[in-house]
Structure 1
């Protein structure tokens, strides 16, 4: 009986340690997400302005072209940030269900 009591106490201690660790991971992930979003915002703001040759005519409407090359380099960054955000959310949901 003493063995089972000590085993139960050990399990309770491990559960509280895991819970505290999960809370620390969650807090650090929030900081990482904030840093990534800040870097993404600064990256988008730092992109040189695009070149546009667009005109409007009442008979034909809008015509011309927009040079989007400046924005193509941001697409992988945005996809990566979305992927990290989804993975983090799924990990937190898994931790929450593990309680």
Structure 2
């Protein structure tokens, strides 16, 4: 199982990585590491303005390979498997109206 830490310095970076279309929520991780759909990833997340990180169990549900069209960043999208810290709601509170933006993200 892989381990990643994501620290979001501002809401824009969080918006670019957040995957609201997933039932439990999820985040995009920029990486050139190779993954398969369904691989488990331990994720440590620090949201903007927070000092403490949150540990999440996630599963790979999206893969953007190196050399993807439109110069999209390579990486993987991970779906939250457990959200005991209510991270999805915290992210959506941080993003507020940005969630309705038409601006492209790392995944859509």
TM-score, length-normalised on structure 2?
Answer: 0.21
Compare the two structures and name the one with the higher strand fraction. Answer: 2
Look at both structures and tell me which one has the larger radius of gyration over its CA atoms.
1
Compare the two structures and name the one with the higher helix fraction. Answer: 1
TM-score, length-normalised on structure 1?
Answer: 0.22
